[in-house]
Amino acid sequence: MSTLVTAVYLALVVAAIAVEIIAQLKPDRIEPLGVMLSRAANSRINRVGLTAAWWWFGWHFLFAQTIQTNL
C-alpha cells in the first residue's frame, strides 16, 4: 500500500512539473505558477489564508503523528 501511495505522490509531482513546463512555454494557455501565486496573494486576507493553509498542511503532514505507519 505504501508503494502505491508513494507512486501516486510521485506521479502528482511529475504532473505538476509538466504543467509548469507547459505554462512556461505557452503562457497564453496556462499561467505559470509565479503569476498564479501573485494573483492569489494580491490582498492581505488572501496572504493570511495562504499562510494559514501552508502552516496547516505542513504541521499535519510533516510534524504531527497523525498516520500509523505500522499497520
Q: For residue 63, which amino acid is it? A: F
29 and 49 part of one domain:
no
Report how many domains make up the chain. Answer: 2
Based on the domain organization, do 46 and 28 belong to the same domain?
no
**Which pLDDT score, from 0 to 100, does residue 16 have?**
93
List, for residues 5-40, the tens digit of each pLDDT value: 889 989 999 999 999 999 999 989 989 988 988 988
For residues 31 and 55, state if they share a domain.
no
The pTM (predicted TM-score) of the whole model is 0.59
Q: Which domain holds residue 60?
A: 41-71
Interacting residues of 27 by C-beta distance below 8 A, sequence separation 6+? 35
pLDDT at 68: 63
**45 and 31 belong to one structural domain:** no
1 and 30 in a single domain? The answer is yes
Which pLDDT belongs to residue 2? Answer: 80
Say what the pLDDT of residue 61 is: 74
| One domain, residues 26 and 50 | no
Q: Are 25 and 52 in a shared domain?
A: no
Dist. CA 20–CA 10, nearest whole Å:
15
Render pLDDT for 45-71 as a digit per residue (tens, 0 to 9): 999 999 999 898 888 777 766 556 666
